[in-house]
Amino acid sequence: MIRLILLIISFVGGQILSVNFSNIRISALDLSVGIFIIWALLQRKLQVRPVKRYLKIFGLFIFVCLISLIFQLKNLDFLKIIISSLYLWRFVMYSLLAIFISQDKKIKHLSIWGLWWGGVTIALLGLIQYFLYPNLRNLQYLGWDPHQYRIFSTLLDPNFTGIILVLTLILGMYLFNTQKQKKVIIAGEIISFIALLLTYSRGSYLALIIGIFVMVILNNKIKLIWKIGLIGMFGVGFILLLFLLPRPGGEGVNLLRVISVESRIENSQEAIELFIKSPIIGYGFNTLRYFRSGFDEYSQSVSGFHNSWLFILVTTGILGLLSYIWIWWNILKTLYCSSPSTSLREDNKNFSLDISSGSKNILLLISFIAIFIHSQFDNSLFYPYVMFWMFMLVGSFSITD
């Protein structure tokens, strides 16, 4: 319980609970995840079969990332390679959460509620920030983007806060259908939805809309005509709410702004140009700060590219992209096998998703879809707080009995 509380507090603390050492940002969440994994290893809770399963799914991508870094030893000094590799080790740490959470029956159930309450707390803190601290310009000297009159909460970024709130809303819908605390869940969902609107994050809006669309389409209990009606009403209602949002001033609250669109297009063009020069193995995982022209080393923005898929493609090449797709192909294939007997589970001790509950499958699928949509606009696939959510969710809905 203490370990889970530490994880959730660190998650809620966001970038507020982080420090920067020589342009290497370490958050309380990084430390908490590391402590959690070390503690689990000391308790010898990791079995051989789940490790084999983990290596089968994640091993190829990790190997390609390591090779991509080794290939850059001819272009970068050893210290820069070590610094760049920290990003990979963080990915390994966070992905290991799925195994360790799945093997702890006490934490599995509580972590679902912990994630949801963590998301709602970020929403609440965001609303407080919106009224008391609406301007991030005075932290611009530290490298943060100067967001104004938008909810950026403890993550100090409205776009990443937005996707966390979308995931909170999706998880809340699942809890509403499976738990008894309906009033509490409704209140939390309303708070999270209002906070999401005030992020003015169009990528997050789109992630929620497509997530809801898929959720309704996959619901076999609703007739087609009602599905069309529900989707239409939600779409119209959402658009009307956007028109009612306050516009206190600044480009950030303008939902028709084109500056960020142009910036992302230029960012993607740069990524494609770099990819063409090294298409097979890329430039090395997280080494882009050393290859991109005009990159501000003091910026807190991602030192890669906004689009997660282009980030993978440029840093690890075609091999890295295929091996990363392999990860999610395995997870999603496990979700939608027709029955437990046809799942990827070879025996009861293997690490695999519980596909016996359709609602869990839908929750995981919708969450993944929302993240994948959002990752087209921001590097959310490798954002620590999104990775934490993804792998905690996968671990919580896994079976190892």
- Both tokens of 106, joined, read 């006490």
Instruction: Supply the DSSP symbol for 43.
Output: T
Instruction: Please state the φ and ψ torsions of residue 363, each to the nearest 5 degrees.
Output: -60, -50
| pLDDT given at position 352 | 46
**Rounded Cα–Cα distance for residues 221 and 219 (Å):** 5
| pLDDT given at position 179 | 80
Query: DSSP states of 258-269 as a string?
Result: -HHHHHHHHHHH
Look-up of token digits 């084999």: 52
Identify the segments of the chain with pLDDT beneath 70.
44-48, 141, 292-304, 335-358, 399-401
pTM of the entire structure?
Answer: 0.90
Cα→Cα distances 214→139, 170, 327, Å:
39, 12, 22
| pLDDT given at position 355 | 36
Instruction: Supply the DSSP symbol for 135.
Output: B
E strands within 166-307? Answer: none
Cα→Cα distances 218→238, 312, 369, Å:
21, 30, 13
**Rounded Cα–Cα distance for residues 356 and 135 (Å):** 47
| pLDDT given at position 299 | 53
In the chain, where are the structural domains located? 48-399
For 47, other C-beta atoms within 10 Å of its C-beta total 15
**Rounded Cα–Cα distance for residues 247 and 241 (Å):** 13
Pairing of strands 18-21, 398-399: unpaired
User: Is the Cβ–Cβ distance between 149 and 249 less than 8 Å?
Assistant: yes
